Amino acid sequence: MQLVSINPATARRIASHRGHSAAEVERAVARAHAAHLAWRHVPPAIRARRLRTIGRGLLARRDELAALATAEMGKPVRQARAEVEKSAAACEFYARHGPDFLRDEIPPGAPENTRVTYEPLGVVLAIMPWNFPFWQVIRAAIPALMGGNAFLLKHAPNVPGCARAVEKAFAGADLPPGLFQALLIDPKPVPALLADPRVSAVTLTGSTAAGRRVAALAGAAMKPGVFELGGSDPALLLADADLPRAAETCALARLLNSGQSCICAKRFIVVRSARREFEKLFVARIAARRVGDPADSATDIGPLARADLRDKLQAQVAASVRRGARVLLGGAPLPGPGFFYAPTVLTDVRPGMPAYDEELFGPVAAIIPVRDEADAIRAANDTAYGLAATIFTRSQTRARKIVPQLAAGSVFVNDFARSDPALPFGGVKQSGHGRELGASGLRAFLNAKTVWGA
């Protein structure tokens, strides 16, 4: 089996990587299990120092890694550099705070001479996507390793070079051999891996459909999992919003990673009194972004990662227009080589349209007109997803009232949605379950063991 890297800006093949055989996968699992048995006894303070080394190594190779992500999945290189920097920051965060998260606890009201101690589960299988090829891996792997687990990475097949590069970063950190390994495989071996008693847990970031399949396998094997899945996140534009600021923030959010981000706002729910002004400002901000060569630091929007993703996006836009959506900007693939799609704004988006009901993974924004604040809250929750939500209002009182009414894993006020190493991250409903990052992310793959009398 060969995994092929295609440059999405040119549609040209740039590299081919030999996949791992079944025998090689078996040896990898055995090495990971043995590495965990050694690593679990390493004191947390020493684990922290070694994980800090990984972050420093990432920073030292920032430009090299950023160029690789740009070549393999088309991320604008300025954003790719920021992704590597954020990954290094996560290493530093867990090196600094991880030992404290692992300390024994005495819960309030617990009986005398009891405590809760945190112990690793074993080998964690990670199924990771291509859109943030370093950050998605680091934010799962670093807390898992900090907790004493081993980590097997099954990365997306279109970023094999990034998978190898991440593995190299861990190899230079004086870890037990096999503690972190990248498996260059297609999805076929995943069921057997999840059924293997040496694999203790799974984490997946990807589509809801993939999450359902893997969660079913994990459930059948009685193994825990963390699933960060799709999103069609709402941004609520209320009557008292600072519309120029909101339009700029929404444009930044929607076009991050060329629109290929689970957590970025996709549905812009605008109350009647703000609609015309927001549409004018928002279209101008979107149109001002530069589309082009992702290797150019001046580029804001690069290509979609694969041809099939562009085809799907165009089908969703076309179906929405047929059902009554209006195109304010863009609305079609761009001519020429590569998998570029024009930055697009649709309005008059309503239920029954793909732009309302489905996740749009690309530079397409859907404006949903509503009557008032109550209608905006209803529309925001009228989705199968629940990853993040954003509220634009000048009133903190209004924002605090609305926050608990939104079904989402996180809510941002007058800002764009994003993750931070210190805060738990994940979704509800069809956006998945479990949490990454923060103390929650570290403890996701630990056994919270009650100890009584010792």
- Could you report the per-residue pLDDT of 325-374, keeping only the tens digit for each? 999 999 999 999 999 999 999 999 999 999 999 999 999 999 999 999 99
- Cβ proximity of 121 and 28 under 8 Å: no
Q: What's the CATH code, domain 233-413?
A: 3.40.309.10
Write down the pTM of the prediction: 0.97
pLDDT digits (tens, 9 = 90+) for 200-229: 999 999 999 999 999 999 999 999 999 999
Q: Which residues of 45-72 are buried (b: 16+ CB within 10 A; e: fewer)?
A: eebbebbbbbbebbbebbeebbbbbbbb
Residue 320 CB contacts under 8 Å (≥ 6 apart), including other chains: 346, 349, 353, 354, 355, 356, 366
Would you put residue 11 in left (φ > 0), alpha (ψ -120 to 50) or beta? left
The maximal CA–CA distance of the chain, rounded, in angstroms, is: 72
CA 448 – CA 108 distance, rounded (Å): 16
Give the model's pLDDT for residue 172: 87
Do the strands 199-205 and 123-127 form a parallel or antiparallel pair, or are they unpaired?
parallel
Can you give the residue ranges of every domain in the chain?
Answer: 2-229+428-452, 233-413
Per-residue pLDDT in tens (0 to 9) along the chain, 454 residues: 899 999 999 999 999 999 999 999 999 999 999 999 999 999 999 999 999 999 999 999 999 999 999 999 999 999 999 999 999 999 999 999 999 999 999 999 999 999 999 999 999 999 999 999 999 999 999 999 999 999 999 999 999 999 999 999 999 899 999 999 999 999 999 999 999 999 999 999 999 999 999 999 999 999 999 999 999 999 999 999 999 999 999 999 999 999 999 999 999 999 999 999 999 999 999 999 999 999 999 999 999 999 999 999 999 999 999 999 999 999 999 999 999 999 999 999 999 999 999 999 999 999 999 999 999 999 999 999 999 999 999 999 999 999 999 999 999 999 999 999 999 999 999 999 999 999 999 999 999 999 999 8
Q: Single out the residue of 221, 273, 222, 277 nearest to residue 245, CA to CA.
A: 277
Catalytic residues: 228, 262
d(Cα 173, Cα 247) in Å, to the nearest integer?
Answer: 44
SS3 of the chain: the string is: CEEEEEECCCCEEEEEEECCCHHHHHHHHHHHHHHHHHHCCCCHHHHHHHHHHHHHHHHHCHHHHHHHHHHHHCCCHHHHHHHHHHHHHHHHHHHHHHHHHCCCECCCCCCCCEEEEEEECCEEEEECCCCCCCHHHHHHHHHHHHCCCEEEEECCCCCHHHHHHHHHHHHCCCCCCCCEEECCCCCCCHHHHHHCCCEEEEEEECCHHHHHHHHHHHHHCCCCEEEECCCCEEEEECCCCCHHHHHHHHHHHHHHHHHCCCCCEEEEEEEHHHHHHHHHHHHHHHHCCCECCCCCCCCCECCCCCHHHHHHHHHHHHHHHHCCCEEEECCCECCCCCCCECCEEEECCCCCCHHHHCCCCCCEEEEEEECCHHHHHHHHHCCCCCCEEEEECCCHHHHHHHHHHCCCCEEEECCCCCCCCCCCECCCHHHEECCECHHHHHHCCEEEEEEECC
Q: Which two tokens stand for residue 120?
A: 């690793």
CA torsion 344→159→185→429, rounded to 10°? -40
In whole angstroms, what separates CA 133 from the centre of its chain?
A: 9
At the fourth CATH level, the homologous superfamily of domain 2-229+428-452 is: Aldehyde Dehydrogenase; Chain A, domain 1 (3.40.605.10)
pLDDT (0 to 100) of residue 1: 85
